[in-house]
Amino acid sequence: MSDLPYTTDVLRLAAEATGAGRLPPPCLSHSELNPVCGDRCTVDLRLEGSAIIALSHETKACVLTQAAASILGASLPGHTVAELAHLREAVRAMLAGGAAPQDAFRRFSHLAEVARHPARHRCVLLPIEA
């Protein structure tokens, strides 16, 4: 049996799938693949200047990646590209055992237990990197 942190909160986030789908048309679109497990996430962004005004994602992946993509879909619009870069570093720090991101991105705290599973860090980071 796995000891991965598939808590009710993580499962709920994945099931919400906030932002699931594709943007017609996006300003930017990028896909990332985790070759270890086959997870794939494509993120579409619509920008006004450096502000992210819309995000959608097509995620074919494990529950951890789905939950992370759903958090992005719910919380990233209205933030800037620079804030996205800061979020990536904050989530990396969380996965290294540091504090979870706060404010708009505090729901990433539901994925903090993934820090104990280094092989699954990429799952949480995949949507952010896409």
Residue 3 has pLDDT above 80, yes or no: no
Does the pTM exceed 0.85? yes
Measured over the CA atoms of residue 19, residue 22, residue 27 and residue 30, the dihedral's sign is: positive
pLDDT-derived band of residue 5, with 50, 70 and 90 as boundaries?
A: confident
Pairing of strands 40-48, 28-33: antiparallel
Local structure of residue 1 (DSSP, 8 states): -
The pLDDT value recorded for residue 2 is 58
The pLDDT value recorded for residue 110 is 97
Contact predicate 63/72, CB 8 Å: no
Residue 1 has pLDDT above 70, yes or no: no
Q: Write out pLDDT tens, residues 75-84.
A: 999 999 999 9
What's the average model confidence in pLDDT over 93-105?
A: 97
| Percentage of the chain lying above the pLDDT 90 cut | 92
